[in-house]
Amino acid sequence: MAVEIKVGPPQLAVHQGFTILITEPDGSIAWPSDKGLYYNDTRVMSAYAIFANGEAWTLLNSGAPAYYGCRIFMTNTDFTTEADPIPARALSLVLSRVIDGGLHETHEITNHAKTPVSFNHEVIIRSDFADVFEVKAGKIKRRGRVTSIWSDETDTLTTWYTNGPFRRGLRVSCTGDDTVAWVNGRLSFAVTIEPGDTWRGTIRFDMLDGETVLAAPAECVLNGSSDQGLDLLNWRAGVTKLSSCVDSMERLFNQAVEDMAALRLPVQVEGKVVFVPAAGLPWFVALFGRDTLITSLQTIMLNPEFARGTLKVLGAWQAQEVDDYRDAEPGKILHELRRGELAVLKLIPHTPYYGTADATPLYLMLLHATWKATGDIGLLHQHLTVAEACLSWIDTYGDRDGDGFQEYGTRSGAGYENVGWKDSGNAVVDDHGNLVHGPKALCELQGYVYAAWRGMAEIYAALGRPADAAALTAKAAALYDKFNAVFWNEAEGFYAYCLDGDKKAIFSVSSNPGHLLWCGIVPPERAARVAARFRRPDMWSGWGIRTLSTENRAYNPYDYQVGSVWPHDNSLIALGCARYGLHEDAAAIAGDIHEAAGFFVQRQLPELYSGVQRDDTNFPVQYLGANVPQAWAAASVFALLQAMLGLQPDAPNDRLLIRPALPAWLPEVTLRDMRVGRHLFDIAFRRVDGATVHEVLRGEAAAVVLASSA
């Protein structure tokens, strides 16, 4: 296709930590819309527009040079003043924004005319303080009271929203080369500019949360000398780096590195701040269980610090008691923690909400993976109490009826119908497209528990507890046998999606069984058949594996989880294929996602995209409302690379196992600054006569070992 097509929503996103600004490309926030300035699950600014004597400015170009800042270039239409009319394009406006806690923006207006100009530079700002859940749903209910106070002495507008114990505010402070006033719902700067001169004004937005003030940065600096810029440089310096002769792969990798930097969420635990990946922008900038755990698993070879932070934070929030409203049981790992009005007033159960069936075994999988990547035995001692509570939950609450399988069903009147990764209400369907009734035993839940038990058995052995290791090994073996007897469909060469509430196997074809390959619960003689089923046209879109077969009556390529393509889902399937030596399948998945990424703005992989069939004349189609950037979508890049190179850290045994099989479309890559335990490696991989060879450029070559099997 000769014409370059870019796919993605027309918007500007600027964010850092818990503060997010989503606007139109010209920097405005139209009302009504889902755009705005958000902090801690509350929209603190819901409308924003700039005018010159009541006339809107015209956008020239805009962009975000960094995730924490953007720059917007505009010019004027013709408008009248008390003196003379000002012709179109006589003025230029450069609007710069930077977030670091609060938001700092600068307005620079240059007079390109031959005569002085005087006019009112006006900024409309409104705040609805809507909860992010209600904005996303498009159903906003005002419960509390909004008050605004303007101070002529400090040129400051302070707006508060109060509803019982919930209190949020926005403080807007202005400075400029001329006077400013708050008039008729607008900040109005009286501007006079001589020919060739530039007028400068600043607006600082401080976030107010009760008595807590999250101040705007003192300056609006977008280059590397700013605090945010230096932080980004330090982040890049501390992660694995990639170079390649395939420029598009290198650019995709680097964008994913920046996206992960952008999604670092500072969370306090035991008086210290640790960083975990937020799930995605704009709706999921919060602490999650499943998303955070899977992202940490995907990024383990990039930087294990996400994994360390995730284990610590989620362990601190592990449920200690039964709470039906929050679907909590002792030992369970949370699903989602929110801090907006609905959560503070307990109108939703996200305080936190524990409605996830998979986060608890995924926690154990991450603990094992982090130990294998770091070799840190102290990590196991630190989190052993949490891990053993997870094991207890799996036996006591995860297996609801004692049949040896994991089932789920909400106990909360406000809970979710589905609590696997496909958590939309219509996601779990039978082969006729009908909704499945619960309790539901998803296939991947059994795989996660199998992998968790095997990983914990290895951990117990390392801790000198052979009896506990043997007991878990035996449980895993029993689950392996029973699962493969009950879930396998010999005629289809595939696994059941789930068991329904009557223990009937549901054989609708979905992407979920791909996670079984990742977990290793598939017998080697069946693995190729499972992978081959994904390559059939009803599942293989050409842009990735669909979530549901096109042959299912519920299939909809534009719906959330019944036909769309999710990059993270594909990356886990690719890792599973690589585990069983199915290199062509893993490379084909990686190739599809790589090519799809080239169509998205800035090569930012979205949370999901539509499952339309690829041909020579089309391109990936966006899913409206998909989060961009999104953590486990961005982290898919690292997981896909890990699959193609067969990277298996084994720090406890002081080595890195590899099983590289680069595809023809990626003939050469070099990884630098890759940490495995005490080692720091630079390794070059390249295709030679159809095979992949490697060279250790830095580090102990003997510690890089070719694995005979994954």
Six-digit token string for 161: 């929203």
Query: Can you tell me the distance from the alpha carbon of 640 to that of 631, in angstroms, rounded to the nearest whole number?
Result: 14
pLDDT in tens, 100-135: 999 999 999 999 999 999 999 999 999 999 999 999
Query: DSSP label at 521?
Result: -
Look at 52 and 185; give whichever has higher pLDDT.
52
Query: Can you tell me the distance from the alpha carbon of 638 to that of 257, in angstroms, rounded to the nearest whole number?
Result: 9
DSSP secondary structure of 87-153: -TTSEEEEEEEEEESEEEEEEEEEE-SSS-EEEEEEEEEE---EEHHHHHHT-----SEEEEEEETT
pLDDT reading at 2 higher than 70 = no
Query: DSSP label at 405?
Result: S
* Strand-strand pairing, 441-442 and 272-277: unpaired
**Contacts from 242-245 at CB under 8 Å and sequence distance 24+?**
242/641, 242/669, 242/670, 242/671, 242/672, 243/669, 243/670, 243/672, 244/666, 244/668, 244/669, 244/670, 245/667, 245/668
State the Cα angle at 135 between 134 and 140, rounded to 5°. 55
Beta bridge partners of 156: 151, 173
**Rounded-to-10 torsion of CA 556, 557, 559, 564:** 130
In one-letter notation, the amino acid at residue 505 is A
User: What CA–CA distances, in Å, run from 583 to 313, 528, 577, 634, 646?
Assistant: 36, 11, 7, 22, 9
pLDDT in tens, 238-282: 999 999 999 999 999 999 999 999 999 999 998 899 999 999 999
Q: Which of 426, 428, 414, 416 is nearest to 335 (CA)?
A: 416
Examine domains 13-228 and 238-658 and report if their fold is the same: no
Mean pLDDT, rounded, of the chain:
95
Are 292 and 658 a contacting pair, CB within 8 Å?
Answer: no
Helix (H) or strand (E) holding 168: strand 166-176
**Rounded-to-10 torsion of CA 154, 157, 163, 167:** -50
Read off the pLDDT of each residue in 311-334 and give the average, rounded to a whole number: 98
DSSP secondary structure of 28-50: -B-SSSS-EEEETTEEEE-EEEE
Read off the pLDDT of each residue in 168-181 and give the average, rounded to a whole number: 88
CB atoms within 10 A of CB 485: 8
Read off the pLDDT of each residue in 2-25 and give the average, rounded to a whole number: 85
Six-digit token string for 297: 């698993």
User: Residue 432: is it exposed, middle or buried by C-beta count within 10 angstroms (0-12/13-18/19+)?
Assistant: exposed
pLDDT of residue 567: 98
Residue where the block lists tokens 């704009």 = 282
What is the domain partition of the chain in residue ranges?
13-228, 238-658
List of residues 6+ apart from 417 with CB closer than 8 A: 410, 425, 438
Query: Can you tell me the distance from the alpha carbon of 465 to that of 460, in angstroms, rounded to the nearest whole number?
Result: 5
Helix (H) or strand (E) holding 84: none
In one-letter notation, the amino acid at residue 549 is S
Are 682 and 697 a contacting pair, CB within 8 Å?
Answer: yes
* Strand-strand pairing, 494-495 and 488-489: antiparallel
Are 259 and 252 a contacting pair, CB within 8 Å?
Answer: no
Residue percentage of the chain with pLDDT more than 70: 99
Assign 3-state DSSP to the chain and report helix, strand, coil percentages, each to 5: 30, 30, 40
Cα 183 from chain centroid (whole Å): 41
What's the pLDDT band for 3 if we cut at 50, 70, 90?
A: low
Query: Can you tell me the distance from the alpha carbon of 682 to that of 686, in angstroms, rounded to the nearest whole number?
Result: 14
pLDDT reading at 184 higher than 90 = no
What's the pLDDT band for 396 if we cut at 50, 70, 90?
A: very high
List of residues 6+ apart from 290 with CB closer than 8 A: 335, 356, 358, 359, 362, 421
Return the CATH number of 238-658, one of 2.60.40.10, 1.50.10.10, 3.40.50.2300, 3.30.470.20.
1.50.10.10
Return the CATH number of 13-228, one of 2.60.40.1180, 3.40.50.300, 2.70.98.40, 1.10.3130.10.
2.70.98.40
CB atoms within 10 A of CB 211: 6
Task: List the strands of the sheet with 498-499, edge to edge.
Answer: 441-442, 498-499, 505-506
DSSP secondary structure of 530-559: HHHHHTSTTTB-SSSBBSB-TTSTT--TTS
Query: Can you tell me the distance from the alpha carbon of 472 to that of 477, in angstroms, rounded to the nearest whole number?
Result: 9
Six-digit token string for 505: 């196997």
pLDDT of residue 709: 57
- Please tell me the pTM assigned to this model: 0.95
pLDDT of residue 572: 98
CB atoms within 10 A of CB 230: 11
Are 205 and 102 a contacting pair, CB within 8 Å?
Answer: yes
* Strand-strand pairing, 655-658 and 704-706: parallel
HSE, CB side, 13 Å, CA atoms: give it for residue 407.
21
pLDDT of residue 1: 46
Query: Can you tell me the distance from the alpha carbon of 96 to that of 73, in angstroms, rounded to the nearest whole number?
Result: 9
pLDDT reading at 218 higher than 80 = yes
Burial 598-618 (b: 16+ CB within 10 A, else e): bbbeebbbbbbbbbbebeeee
pLDDT of residue 84: 85
pLDDT of residue 7: 78
List of residues 6+ apart from 689 with CB closer than 8 A: none
pLDDT of residue 617: 86
Query: Can you tell me the distance from the alpha carbon of 266 to that of 336, in angstroms, rounded to the nearest whole number?
Result: 16
CB atoms within 10 A of CB 9: 14
HSE, CB side, 13 Å, CA atoms: give it for residue 639.
27
pLDDT reading at 508 higher than 90 = yes
User: Residue 446: is it exposed, middle or buried by C-beta count within 10 angstroms (0-12/13-18/19+)?
Assistant: buried
